[in-house]
C-alpha cells in the first residue's frame, strides 16, 4: 500500500493522543504557537478600493481611460513619493519580522507535538538556529522570485513609468501571464516540498536548510510517486479539514455574536452622544480585542487540525527514510 495511506492511522492516533484528553493549558499554548508557526491555510485576500470600480465617463474611450489613469498614478507617486517609500519600507520590515517569527515557530510547533515537556520559551530558544536557517532560505529564494517577476513584468512596468501604458500591446500579456503561471506552479511545488519534508527533516535531524534539502533529495530519489500520491491525499484531506474548519468558525462566530452586538450597541450610544477622542479610542480598543480574542480562541479550538497535518508530514518523512 502507498506510504500516504499507510501512515494515516499512525498520524491520526499520535495527534489524538497528543490533544486528548483535553489539556486546556496545552491547547492554549499550541493554539498560540499555531497562529505564529503553522503552514495550515493562510494567505492574503485584499479587497479593491471602490475608487477603482468607478465607471468610465460616457465620452471617454478605454485608451483615454488607461492614459488618464496612468498619468494620475504617476502624479500620485510623484507627490507622495516619501510616504509611498516609507509605507513600503514599513511593510517590508514587518514582513521580514513576521517571516522570522513564523520560521522559528514552525519548529516550536513541532516541538510541542513531539516533546513530552513542552515550554514555548525554551522551545523558541532551542529552535532559533533552525528557524534562522529557514528564514534566510525563504529570504534568498523570495528575492530570486521577486527578481524573476521584475524581469518578467519589466516591459509592463517600463511602459507604466514612461507614461506609455496606453501604447502597451496587450498581446504581450499572453506570454507574460503564461510564464507567471508556470513560475507560480513551480514555486508552489517547491514550497510544498520544503514545508512538508525539508522542515521536518531540519527538526528531526537538526540540519540546516541546505543540508536538509540535500538529505531530502537523497531519500526521495526513487520515491517520487509516493511523494506525488502523498500530495494528492493531502489535497483531499485539506478539503475535508477546510469544511470542518469553516463549520467550527461559523459556530464560534455565532457564539461571539453577542460581543459584536455589544460593540454595535456602543457605537449606537456613541452616535447619540457627542463622542470625543477618548471614547472613540476605547471603542476601537474594545473591538480590536474582541477580534483578537476571537482569532486566538479559534486557533485554540482548531489546533488539532494543523497538528494532524504536521504530524502527517513527519510520519511521511520517517516512512521515506526506511
Instruction: Return d(Cα 38, Cα 52) in angstroms, integer.
Output: 34
Residue 131 has pLDDT above 90, yes or no: yes
Q: What is the pLDDT of residue 231?
A: 95
Instruction: Return d(Cα 200, Cα 194) in angstroms, integer.
Output: 9
Tell whether 263 is covered by a domain: yes
Under the banding of pLDDT at 50, 70 and 90, the label for residue 274 is low
- Give the mean pLDDT of 247-254: 87
Q: What domain range includes position 277?
A: 3-38+60-321
pTM: 0.84
The answer to whether the bond into 21 is cis (omega within 30° of 0) is: yes
Q: What is the pLDDT of residue 49?
A: 42
Q: What is the pLDDT of residue 275?
A: 59
Tell whether 53 is covered by a domain: no
Kindly report, residue by residue over 107-122, the tens digit of the pLDDT. Answer: 999 999 998 889 999 9
Tell whether 49 is covered by a domain: no
Residue 124 has pLDDT above 50, yes or no: yes
Tell whether 9 is covered by a domain: yes
Q: What is the pLDDT of residue 67?
A: 87
Radius of gyration of the chain (CA): 24
Q: 256: which DSSP letter? A: T
Kindly report, residue by residue over 159-212, the tens digit of the pLDDT. Answer: 999 998 888 888 989 999 999 999 999 999 999 999 999 999 999 999 999 999
Please count the structural domains in the chain: 1
Q: What is the pLDDT of residue 267?
A: 65
**Cα–Cα distance list, 172 to 133, 154, 178 (Å):** 39, 11, 10
Tell whether 52 is covered by a domain: no
User: For the chain, what percent of residues have pLDDT higher than 70?
Assistant: 87
Instruction: Return d(Cα 176, Cα 161) in angstroms, integer.
Output: 18
Under the banding of pLDDT at 50, 70 and 90, the label for residue 272 is low
Cell numbers at 2, concatenated: 502507498
Mean per-residue pLDDT of the chain: 87
Residue 108 near residue 124, CB atoms below 8 Å: yes
Tell whether 255 is covered by a domain: yes
Kindly report, residue by residue over 36-68, the tens digit of the pLDDT. Answer: 987 653 333 333 444 444 455 556 677 888 888
Instruction: Return d(Cα 94, Cα 79) in angstroms, integer.
Output: 25
Q: CB neighbours of 298 closer than 8 A, spacing ≥ 6?
A: 248, 249, 252
Q: What is the pLDDT of residue 278?
A: 67
- For residues 253-273, one letter each, b for 16 or more C-beta atoms within 10 angstroms of the residue's C-beta and e for the rest, the string is eeebeebeeebeeeeeeeeee
Amino acid at each position: 500500500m502507498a506510504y500516504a495511506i499507510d501512515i494515516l492511522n499512525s498520524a491520526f492516533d499520535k495527534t489524538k493522543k497528543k490533544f486528548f484528553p483535553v489539556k486546556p493549558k496545552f491547547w492554549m499554548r499550541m493554539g498560540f504557537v499555531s497562529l505564529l508557526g503553522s503552514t495550515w491555510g493562510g494567505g492574503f485576500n485584499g479587497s479593491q478600493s471602490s475608487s477603482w470600480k468607478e465607471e468610465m465617463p460616457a465620452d471617454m474611450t478605454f485608451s483615454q481611460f488607461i492614459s488618464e489613469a496612468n498619468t494620475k498614478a504617476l502624479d500620485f507617486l510623484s507627490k507622495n513619493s516619501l510616504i509611498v517609500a516609507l509605507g513600503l519600507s514599513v511593510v517590508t520590515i514587518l514582513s521580514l519580522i513576521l517571516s522570522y517569527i513564523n520560521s522559528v515557530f514552525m519548529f516550536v510547533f513541532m516541538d510541542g507535538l513531539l516533546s513530552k515537556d513542552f515550554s514555548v520559551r525554551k522551545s523558541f530558544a532551542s529552535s532559533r538556529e533552525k528557524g534562522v536557517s529557514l528564514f534566510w532560505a525563504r529570504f534568498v529564494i523570495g528575492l530570486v522570485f521577486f527578481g524573476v517577476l521584475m524581469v518578467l513584468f519589466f516591459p509592463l512596468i517600463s511602459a507604466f513609468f514612461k507614461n506609455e501604458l496606453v501604447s502597451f500591446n496587450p498581446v504581450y500579456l499572453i506570454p507574460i501571464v503564461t510564464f507567471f503561471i508556470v513560475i507560480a506552479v513551480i514555486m508552489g511545488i517547491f514550497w510544498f516540498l520544503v514545508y512538508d519534508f525539508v522542515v521536518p527533516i531540519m527538526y528531526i535531524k537538526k540540519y540546516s536548510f541546505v543540508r536538509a534539502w540535500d538529505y531530502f533529495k537523497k531519500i526521495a530519489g526513487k520515491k517520487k510517486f509516493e511523494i506525488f500520491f502523498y500530495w494528492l491525499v493531502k489535497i483531499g484531506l485539506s478539503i475535508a479539514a477546510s469544511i470542518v474548519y469553516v463549520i467550527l468558525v461559523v459556530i464560534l462566530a455565532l457564539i461571539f455574536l453577542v460581543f459584536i452586538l455589544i460593540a454595535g450597541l456602543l457605537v449606537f450610544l456613541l452616535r447619540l452622544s457627542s463622542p470625543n477622542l477618548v471614547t472613540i479610542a476605547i471603542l476601537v480598543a474594545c473591538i480590536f480585542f474582541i477580534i483578537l480574542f476571537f482569532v486566538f480562541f479559534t486557533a485554540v479550538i482548531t489546533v488539532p487540525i494543523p497538528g494532524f497535518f504536521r504530524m502527517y508530514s513527519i510520519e511521511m518523512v520517517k516512512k521515506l527514510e526506511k
